[in-house]
Amino acid sequence: MPVLTSSSSSSSSFTSISLSIFLLLILYNTTVICSATTRTKTTHPNRQLSVNYYAKSCPQVEQLIGSITSQQFKESPVSGPATIRLFFHDCFVEGCDASIIISSKQQGNKMLAEKDAPDNKDLREEGFESVRKAKAVVESKCPGVVSCADILAISARDYVHLAGGPYYQVKKGRWDGKISMASKVASNIPQANFTVDQLLKLFSSKGLTLEDLVVLSGAHTFGFAHCQNFVSRLYDYRGSKQPDPVIDPRLLRALRMSCPHYGGNADIVAPFDVTTPFVFDHAYYGNLEAKLGLLASDQALSLDPRTKPIVQALAKDKQKFFQAFAAAMEKMGSIGVKRGRKHGEKRKDCSMHML
C-alpha cells in the first residue's frame, strides 16, 4: 500500500489517461508475460466493532452510502483509488478515526491538520468529496448516529467492489478522533522508495504482518502516482546516476518520455498497474514479476525472499488475493479505533471537530 498518490487538478485526469493509454500501447505491442513507531494498539477489535452496529439506529446506512459511491464511481472513477488511499492514510496515522478529513481552518487553532501535511498534499479531492456527500445523505436520515470514520471505511469497501474487487462485510462502531496533527503524518506513512525492511517496520508497528504488507500493497492494482514518486528510479536510482536496473526497459522508456529528470509537469501521473489501470484485480502482482512495478517500494516486494513467494502466489490466484485483501482490510480497519466520548466524537461535519 505504499504511497497511493494522484493529482487533484482536472487537467491531470486527461494527462493520466493519456499516459496510461500510451503505456498500454507500448507494453501490449511487445511481449509481456504476467503471471495468470509508536505502536498503535488493535486491542480486541472484535469486541469494539460489529457488522450490525447500526442495525437499530440506522439500518439503511450501507444503502445510503452506496447510493453515493455508485454515482460517484460512474461520474468520476478516480474516486475509487482516491477514497481507498484516504482510508489507508487515515488508519496509519492515529488510527481509523477520520482525522484525515479535518480541515486546518476548522480546528480553531494554528495547528495544521493531517490533511495539510506534505505527505497528504496530493490526496485527491474526490476522496474527501465522497465522504462529504455520503455523510450528508446519512445525516438526513440518521442524524448524529453514524461516524465519519465508519462512512470512510464503508465507502472504501464500496469502491473496491465497484472496480471489480471483492465485496466484504465492514465492521462498524468507530468514533471520530478528536486529534488531527500534521506533525504525526511523516513518520507513519510509507514512502515510495522504502525498502522492504522499512515497510515491515512500519506495518508491524500497526499490528500488521508481512503478508498484510504484500496484500494491502495490492491496492495499487488501480490508481496513479505523480512523477516525483518514481522519477529517481528513471535517472538516478539510490544515487547511482543510473536508472533502477530492475525496471523493464520498455516501461523505463515510456515513463522517461513523460517524466523528465528535471522541470517536468508536476501534474503528470502514471498508472500503478500498466496493464489494467482502472480495474481492481490481481494484475499488480503479475506486473511485479514482469518488472513493471511503478514504485521502488512495490517492485521490492517481488525481489525480497521474504515477500517474493507471496507475490508469486497472489499473481496466480485472483480469488486468493481477494480473500486475503478483504481480511487485511478488516484488520487494518481496526487500527487505533476510538470508542466513547472520552476518546472520540460523532461529527456532523466531517471536516470540523464537535464543539
Residues in the annotated binding site: 90, 93, 95, 97, 99, 114, 190, 220-221, 273, 276, 281
Q: Has 89 been annotated as catalytic? A: yes
Q: Residue 12 and residue 176: Cα distance in Å, rounded?
A: 32
Strand 344-345, strand 224-226: pairing: unpaired
> What cell was used for 134?
455520503
Q: Which residues are annotated as a binding site for Ca(2+)?
A: 90, 93, 95, 97, 99, 114, 221, 273, 276, 281
Q: How many alpha carbons lie under 13 Å from residue 348 in its C-beta half-sphere? A: 6
Q: Residue 286 and residue 308: Cα distance in Å, rounded?
A: 11
CA dihedral 197, 1, 170, 339 (to 10 degrees): 60
Q: Which of 154, 139, 54, 60 is nearest to 98 (CA)?
A: 154
Q: Residue 339 and residue 36: Cα distance in Å, rounded?
A: 43
260: exposed, middle or buried (C-beta count within 10 Å: 0-12, 13-18, 19+)? middle
Q: Which of 44, 89, 261, 343 is catalytic?
A: 89
264: exposed, middle or buried (C-beta count within 10 Å: 0-12, 13-18, 19+)? middle
Which residues are tagged catalytic? 89
